[in-house]
Amino acid sequence: MTLEVETSRARPVTEREADRVPDPIAERSVDRTVDRITALESRRTRAVTAHGPRRRGEHGARERIDLLLDAGSFTETGLFVRARPTGDGTGRPYGDGVVTGYGTIDNRAVCVFAQDSTVFGGSMGEAFGQKTLALMDLALKTGCPVIGLNDGGGARIQEGVTSLALYAELVRRNVQASGVIPQISVVLGPCAGGAAYSPAITDFTVMVDGASHMFVTGPDVIETVTGERTSAEELGGARTSNTVNGNAHFLAADEVNALDTVRDLLSYLPANNLERPPQYAPGAAPAGQCLDTVVPDRRGQAYDMRDILRAVVDDGELLEVQELFAPNIICALALVEGGAVGVVANQPLHAAGVLDIDASEKAARFVRFCDAFGIPLLTFADVPGYLSGVRQEQAGIIRRGAKLLYAYAEATVPKVTVVVRKAYGGGYAVMGSKHLGADINLAWPTARIAVMGAEGAVGVLHRRELAAAADPEALRARLVTAYESTYGTPYLAAERGYIDAVIAPRDTRAHICRALRALRGKRAPMPERRHGNIPL
């Protein structure tokens, strides 16, 4: 007898039926996921919560970033980074006192860090430093500008030499990035000791009037060591740094104005040294401005060089760099036919536009920045020469004035120069002359290109005649007129090819536009070398 066993296969459960069948394992998994997401949000909330009071009128680190970047574009990095346990009872807040990340400004990528003064006073510890270095590395790898919002207490004392080591590492990153990506520092509070050297190496520094302070040694230490009494504002306040020592490039009225300045500045700059500066729709020169009558007929009479510059650049707009420092020379970013240019011009309103130590160093650094980032140079010369005097000589006018000569000679970007009025002695040579490698040199009919001014030349050349003359003043006047008509013109330089064209002032913008168009494809290979040895 055969035993037959009935077998039956289970009918497959439909997808709809499966949805109705409880799955305890899946339910526990969902619960755990929800718990983890809740925990994540809780950690994130704690990480972004301020840890202490702010100064009056001050924005928080993340608020500053939001004001700076395009709305909703910021992606934070290192949010959950914490300092190592120390065993001394010190807290370990998330972020460790610095907010880092990336976003966009006018839809262009940037990296940014903001020191948080509510966490350990914004001082740099190991985790803080490693986050900042990682951001610098990211900016270098991606080729985008980096912006530092500085508001900190320097090295974190309780972490000892580690803090000092990381400041040195940060400076090394600043040097590696120099000339590769634009670096902008915004000082929104204290920036003292070793912390001050990083902004000093970056390309531009913005400070807030009445709120920012930047110095190596504070007032209390100075009084203890030297007996001198001073204040933080007098020692390294925003106005002092913009007018006296030149450590800063822009003076802002408040934090919002400072961050707006950064956005404006970046609009002229390429993302890195391999990209061309941004190109916009061509603007126009201000209507009704005729340059034919800007330069006074009377010798020695001053005028405002800005009147000429605004008539040449698009829409008459200039972004002056270090406007309040060494005002005898103007350095500015502007647009010509929609393309960025760096403008260097003597300012006759201040010390007749003479080149002194401060003016030379200010212009040299600006010229080198423009050259590093492919921004053409536009120079307007009205210069009596280098400033003479015991104090300037003893302070190193030869060595420090040579920086501007070096910068112009080294620059390989398109260089266009316009001689407006006086161009005497070494001043003629240094202000974008053909001999330092300028590509197109123009001059107005009012230009006076000579070894020295007529009065000085007549005094040297005709000393004996003047001493023996019955009416030395009348003779001097005749000799000055003769000298100016012979030597005090642009035509001798034009005869030798040092000036490419003598032009009517009203045609200046048209000539500059044509010159810059012609120079767009300029190539100027340099000898292979590690680097030059600028007279620092």
Q: SS3 sequence, 484-515?
A: HHHCCCCHHHHHCCCCCEECCHHHHHHHHHHH
Q: Tens digits of per-residue pLDDT, 65-111?
A: 999 999 999 999 988 888 776 655 556 788 888 999 999 999 999 99
What's residue 496's pLDDT? 94
Distance, in Å, from the CA atom of 107 to the CA atom of 172, rounded to the nearest integer, reads 29
Question: How many Cβ atoms from other residues are within 10 Å of residue 399's Cβ?
Answer: 12
DSSP 98: E
| CA dihedral sign, ordered 499, 382, 357, 452 | positive
Calculate the alpha carbon distances from 21 to 14, 24, 29, 32, 470 in Å. 11, 10, 16, 20, 124
d(CA 297, CA 303): 11
Q: Where are the alpha helices (DSSP H) in 154-212?
A: 161-177, 197-201
Query: Where does 178-229 have alpha helices with state H?
Result: 197-201, 219-226
**Sequence-separated contacts (24+) of 285-289 with Cβ below 8 Å:** 285/311, 285/312, 285/313, 285/314, 285/315, 285/316, 285/509, 286/310, 286/311, 286/315, 286/316, 289/316
Question: In the prediction, which pLDDT does 268 show?
Answer: 98
pLDDT tens sequence for the chain (536 residues): 444 444 444 455 554 554 555 666 555 666 677 778 887 777 777 667 666 566 656 789 999 999 999 999 999 998 888 877 665 555 678 888 899 999 999 999 999 999 998 888 888 888 899 999 999 999 999 999 999 999 987 878 778 788 888 989 999 999 999 999 999 999 999 998 888 999 999 999 999 999 999 999 889 889 899 999 999 999 999 999 999 999 999 999 999 999 999 999 999 999 999 999 999 999 887 776 789 999 987 777 899 999 999 999 999 999 999 999 999 999 999 999 999 999 999 999 999 999 999 999 999 999 999 999 999 999 999 999 999 899 999 999 999 999 999 999 999 999 999 999 999 989 999 999 999 999 999 999 999 998 877 777 777 778 888 787 888 788 787 887 777 777 778 999 999 999 999 999 999 999 999 999 999 999 988 888 999 999 99
pTM higher than the cut 0.85: yes
Measure Cα distances from 307 to 199, 292, 347, 401 in Å: 33, 12, 11, 27
| DSSP calls for 52-69 | S---TTPPPHHHHHHHHS
Cα–Cα distance, 157 to 453 (Å, whole number): 59
pLDDT score of 29: 67
145/265 Cα distance (integer angstroms): 11
User: Locate tokens 């069948």: which residue?
Assistant: 21
- Give, as one character, the DSSP assignment of residue 155: B
pLDDT value, residue 264: 98
Report how far residue 141's alpha carbon sits from residue 501's, in angstroms, rounded to the nearest whole number. Answer: 45
What sign for the dihedral angle of Cα 11, 17, 22, 24? Answer: positive
Q: Residue 31's pLDDT is what?
A: 67
Distance between CA 284 and CA 311 in Å, rounded?
A: 9
Helix, strand, coil percentages for the chain (3-state, nearest 5): 45, 15, 40
Burial of residue 376, with CB atoms counted within 10 A of its CB: 0-12 exposed, 13-18 middle, 19 or more buried: buried
> Would you mind telling me the total number of residues written for the chain in this entry?
536
